[in-house]
Amino acid sequence: MRTLAGIALFGLVMLPLPALLASQVWLNFLVMTLFFALLGIAWNVVGGYGGQFSFGHAAFFGTGAYCAAVLQAQLGLAAWLGFALAPVAGGAVAGVVGFLSFRYGLRGSYFALVTLAFAEVLRILANSAGFTGGGSGLLIKLAPGAANLQFADRSGFYYLVLALVIAGLLLSLWIERSRFGSYLVAVRENEDAARALGVDAFAIKLRAIVLSGAIAGVAGAVYAQMFLYVDPGLAFGPTMSVEALLVPIVGGMGTVFGPVLGSLALHLLSEAGRSVLGQAPGLNLALYGVLLVIMVLFLPDGLVGLLRRVRRRFLRGRADA
């Protein structure tokens, strides 16, 4: 109940913010923070709860983005149809990657490298295919209106991404409390022992990566609608894969609120670095690398783990007093 109440409180706090913010810069900051939290939630399903570290979530993200863009730019279909089919496309690609990886028992670094390779293969294919616009990418026609999933200002996208993040948090809570989630955590902790107890590790991991890919596909469709442009480097490049895994690692893997806290921390760090050091090339990656080293060395449980330890010490101090 405490986590469910936390999700409700999160929604109540976030709902009025667009009306309270006078600056579009901060509104855009919140939109991108929520967006990468959604991408982190996608990775957290298979990486945090399942222990299967993916280095190529851009494969699923980019598939969703191109699904939305191609249907609109090339076929002239409705934006909402692309938005609905994006998770199907992302989940399908994830299913192929998961089936080929888990069927042959790939784990750890081998699985990570396979996902990275798939993302790179899709980037090369998108770069050379005609229907994707090749290296030039695809432009989605500007047609403001909710029917076209285009909004006059960022507040429309803010509420869209906020709704998706809340849905993702509720899904994460369900995973924590469901039998599927228990099996997934058992596979993460000791796959061989889980198999010995009768858990179908292959099926559990495959379901997890399909679900993860579907959420990443939704994030890709949202990205395409926000920027009305997709190209192979943006869709399938390493940036999205790095952000997807860093967000839950910093916030706390295998936790409900880890991706939200991680996304907020990363983007506050990025803004602070930009204010102090300017627009230096590669600045974000350098800052993210330093933060990742700090988290691994001193806060392996992420920010959620830190908050839990602080809370325990506070309660212990009150009890002693």
Helix axis angle, 302-320 to 258-277, nearest 10°: 110
Instruction: Please give the Cα distance from 288 to 238 (Å, whole number).
Output: 14
CA angle in degrees (0–180, nearest 5) for 159-162-168 = 145
Flag whether pLDDT at 122 surpasses 80. Answer: yes
In this prediction, residues 190-198 reach a mean pLDDT of: 92
Q: Which of 56, 38, 29, 59 is nearest to 222 (CA)?
A: 38
> For 35, how many CA atoms within 13 A lie in the half-sphere containing its CB?
23
In this prediction, residues 85-96 reach a mean pLDDT of: 97
Q: Which of 208, 187, 313, 299 is nearest to 252 (CA)?
A: 299
Q: Which two tokens stand for residue 157?
A: 């996208």
- Percentage of residues of the chain with pLDDT beyond 90: 68
Q: Which of 9, 27, 17, 35 is nearest to 218 (CA)?
A: 35
What pLDDT shows up at residue 288? Answer: 77
Span 43-53, pLDDT tens digits? 999 999 999 99
Q: Does residue 154 contact residue 27 with C-beta atoms inside 8 Å? A: yes
- Compute CA 20 distance to the chain's CA centroid, rounded to the nearest angstrom: 27
Instruction: Please give the Cα distance from 227 to 216 (Å, whole number).
Output: 17
What pLDDT shows up at residue 313? Answer: 84
What pLDDT shows up at residue 158? Answer: 95
In this prediction, residues 102-127 reach a mean pLDDT of: 93
What pLDDT shows up at residue 277? Answer: 65
Strands 229-230 and 138-139: antiparallel
Domains of the chain: 2-261 (1.10.3470)
What pLDDT shows up at residue 178? Answer: 94
In this prediction, residues 230-235 reach a mean pLDDT of: 93
User: pLDDT class for 68, splitting at 50, 70, 90?
Assistant: very high
In this prediction, residues 230-255 reach a mean pLDDT of: 92
**Which phi and psi (to 5°) does residue 138 adopt?**
-125, 135
Flag whether pLDDT at 173 surpasses 90. Answer: yes
In this prediction, residues 193-203 reach a mean pLDDT of: 93
Instruction: Please give the Cα distance from 118 to 238 (Å, whole number).
Output: 12
Span 245-296, pLDDT tens digits? 999 999 999 999 999 999 999 988 887 777 776 666 666 777 777 887 888 7
Flag whether pLDDT at 101 surpasses 80. Answer: yes
What sign has the CA pseudo-torsion 173, 176, 179, 185?
positive
In this prediction, residues 191-207 reach a mean pLDDT of: 94
Flag whether pLDDT at 316 surpasses 90. Answer: no
Instruction: Please give the Cα distance from 269 to 283 (Å, whole number).
Output: 11
* Per-chain mean pLDDT for the chain: 91
What pLDDT shows up at residue 282? Answer: 65
Alpha helix (H) residue ranges in 104-253:
108-128, 154-177, 179-189, 191-196, 201-227, 232-236, 238-251
Q: Which of 236, 238, 233, 258 is nearest to 248 (CA)?
A: 258
What pLDDT shows up at residue 314? Answer: 79
